[in-house]
Amino acid sequence: RRSIGIPFTEIARKEVGKDLVANMVALGALTCLTKAVSPQGVEKTLLSKVPKGTVEMNQKAFKAGMSAVRKLGRLDLPKPGQVEEEL
């Protein structure tokens, strides 16, 4: 198995100034990694659900998560729906 270390809380703190949005950083990273759904669709849906006054902060965190994955470069990950057999 392969793992990828992405410091969600550290990114949230550095880019947004709040640990609270580490979940949005994680969601941005997973959206970018899996490509199962469009980033625009996820962002639009989520930002319509966050509390008033937090849209900009959550949007910045989501984009920071996507940016963190892009900085990793090309990763050879399974395609959505592809299952790897465990031994």
The identity of residue 7, as a single letter, is P
Q: pLDDT by residue for the chain (87 residues), tens digit each?
A: 667 789 999 999 999 999 999 999 999 999 998 888 899 999 899 889 999 899 999 999 999 999 999 988 765 555 555 555 544
Are the CB atoms for 25 and 61 separated by under 8 Å?
Answer: yes
Residue 86 exposed, middle or buried by CB count within 10 Å (0-12, 13-18, 19+)? exposed
Q: pTM score, two decimals?
A: 0.80
Q: Delineate the domains of the chain, giving CATH numbers in brackets.
A: 8-72 (3.40.920.10)
